[in-house]
Structure 1
Amino acid sequence: MNEPSSTRTTISNPYLYRLQTRHFLLFDVLPFFGVAAAIGFLRVHPVGVAELVLLFVMWLVTGLGISVGYHRLFTHRTFKASASVQAALTIAGSMAGQGGVVSWVAIHRRHHECSDREGDPHSPNLFGHSVLGRVRGLTHSHFLWMRRHEYPNIAHYAPDLLKNRWLVKVARPYYYWVGLGLAVPAIACGLVYQSWAGIVSGFLWGGLVRIFVLEHTIWAINSFLHMYGTRPYESRENSRNGGIFALISFGESWHNNHHAFPESASFGLDWYRLDPGYWLIRLLAVFGLTWDVGLPTTQRMQAKRTAA
């Protein structure tokens, strides 16, 4: 007798696999060609200040949407936020092209539940410890797992989001938000240069190149930081810190800290560890837009300290 779909933790069927393949090709493979096209287009239209500013601004907005919105707010509920902030973070995170917020949250909660064990969607540590096994693991966890995988049941993993009808309504037009994230830099650059070449250049650099850069930064957390780095805190999986990448990852690279204290809005934990995502949460708190910001107690941190 088949298990009722409402009680399954994961769902697999040909329709979902087709959706996964389509998303993988559009938003994970296509940006590779976008980078190549951007480099080739330099012969037609040299990159200028406008493209670089748009690349940076769109990377910053969408990266904070993923780190602060998708991850710290919606997945782990490490703080509370006003409806306007929730909407802004949902739209910014959607423009990153890494999946709709409900699916993203379900996948990430599944990752924490099964981290580095059978059932983890993107562990690099399930292919053995040989050189070939490590290469296969890194390739799988960094990129290839998105081609086709068991889909975490959103009714099981994200019921809190599904009950928030207003948030679901904001998140539903996911592909339109991704399109907006591509259209904004294209239009802005077109206005700056007053040419079709400017539109194409803005689309490439502020759109596809930006998606490529952000994706591989975030994916490196799943892959390399579950295999290499430091482990200052005890955690049941193989999460690691990579502090050298803290700024460009919005603080996400304090990955061992995060797995040890998933309820913490601060991933750096200490004031001197760079954590731009946490800085934004604290800035919004000054204006009363975020509150109940979670942090582990000193006693709990000391209890989890490793000998190293």
Structure 2
Amino acid sequence: MTSAVGTDDAPPEEFQSVGGTLERALIWVFIVVPTVALLPGIFFAWGGWIGWRDIVILIAFYAITTTGIGAGYHRCFTHGSFKCRRGLKIALAIAGSMALEGPVIRWVADHRKHHKFSDRDGDPHSPWRYGTTAWAVTKGFLFAHAGWVLWGDERAEPKHYAPDLLNDRDLAMASRQFRVLAVTSLLAPALIGGLWAGSWHGAATGFFWGTLVRIALMHHVTFSINSICHVTGKKPFTARDRSGNVWWLAILSQGESWHNLHHADPTCARHGVLKGQIDINAWLIKRFERLGWAYDVRWPDPARLEKKRAATT
């Protein structure tokens, strides 16, 4: 249940309107710095500068933030694939914020605009925005992957695309506290690594793997849904855009790369609906439902899926 938010409870203006100098600067830092860390990360790993504690911290924070983005920001808050109790709603908003992809209200607004204009004029991140020649698609691919966040000017207006979230006290609070949650996401792996290993070395490696490498991997997997999954992939269902299924991204994205079905049936809680399609986020939503934390889950309708498939044959 949502309630109206008064003036004092509204998210900061830079999260309500498009842009904000500080927000854009932080996004540059959150994307560029971890990405730059990937190359030395390979070197350090080869040289033995990684231990089992670092691997545990990396996997744990990656799983938490990927769930926050996929099950929370995307399936729940953007598309209403399921409803959840207040505790789970807040947890998913926090987990998604710790992925450092922006405040929940900003993220949802951009994604809703993407679906409204998918692969057409107005889409914030279509790889086909410049045309269909090899060079145009290459340029569009890079823009769809990360350029739209770094320098794009077609961001969505939250007041227009996400008024329901602006009127939700919990999600407004999560957006308002994004910077605090971002700092927590940056520093927590180092703190845990240092305390666990009992050394500054443990803190350093925890920060490197649990923060920098984890954020870079998480970001580029998410960005690949916008770029790779709109350029290539199988299309077993009818959609009004170029979205495709990319199987080799399925586990890392926790099922988000079964993108063709998602665009064919956006509110469906399960994206990997065909045999053998692993969808970790759908599995988690099913667990939430059984625990009573999630309800009104929009599971696949066999008749609807068959109708979507029939159009392709």
The two structures have a TM-score, normalised by structure 1, of: 0.91
Q: How big is each residue's C-alpha offset from its partner over 1:225-277, in whole Å with a ceiling of 9 and x where there is no partner?
A: 10101111111111111123211111001101000001100111246421000
The count of residues paired between Structure 1 and Structure 2 equals: 296
Measure how far apart 1:192 and its partner are: 2.4
Secondary structure of the equivalent of 1:248? helix
Residue of structure 2 in register with 1:143 after alignment: 146
C-alpha RMSD over aligned residues: 1.9
Segments of 5+ residues of structure 2 without an aligned counterpart are 1-15
CA distance in 2, matches of 1:53, 1:295: 32
In the alignment, what sits opposite 1:257? 261
Amino acid across the alignment from 1:18:
T
Shift of residue 154, structure 1, vs aligned partner = 0.7
The residue aligned with 1:57 is: 60
Residue of 69, 93, 115 corresponding to 2:96: 93
Aligned mate of 2:187, from 158, 183, 187:
183
Contact 1:263/1:296 (<8 A) preserved: no
Offset of 1:150 from its aligned partner? 2.5
User: 1:304 is matched with which residue?
Assistant: 308
Partner Cα separation in structure 2 for residue 263 and residue 128 of structure 1: 29
Distance 2:188 2:139 in 1: 37
Q: CA deviation at 1:44?
A: 9.3
1:202 aligns with 2:235: no
1:37–1:204 contact (8 Å) kept in structure 2? no
Q: Is the 8 A contact 1:231 1:240 kept in 2?
A: yes
Q: Secondary structure at the match of 1:293?
A: coil
In 2, are the aligned partners of 1:11 and 1:150 still within 8 Å (CA)?
Answer: no
* Superimposed CA distance per residue, residues 50-102 of structure 1 (whole angstroms, 9 cap, x where no aligned partner): 11111111000000000000000000001010100001100100000000000
Distance in 1 of aligned mates of 2:283 and 2:47:
40
Is the 8 Å Cα contact of residues 45 and 197 (structure 1) preserved in structure 2? Answer: no
Equivalent in the alignment of 1:48: 51
- Deviations along 1:20-72, one digit per CA (max 9) or x if unpaired, are 53033211111123334545666997210011111111000000000000000
Using the alignment, how far apart are the partners of 1:43 and 1:266 within structure 2?
38
The alpha-carbon deviation at position 303 of structure 1 amounts to 1.4
- Distance change >3 Å, CA 292–CA 271, structure 1 → 2: farther
Is the 8 Å Cα contact of residues 41 and 201 (structure 1) preserved in structure 2? Answer: no
Correspondence for 1:289: 293
Distance, in Å, in 2 between the alignment partners of 1:193 and 1:213 is: 24
Q: Distance in 1 between matches of 2:298 and 2:57?
A: 33
5+ residue gaps, structure 1 = 1-9
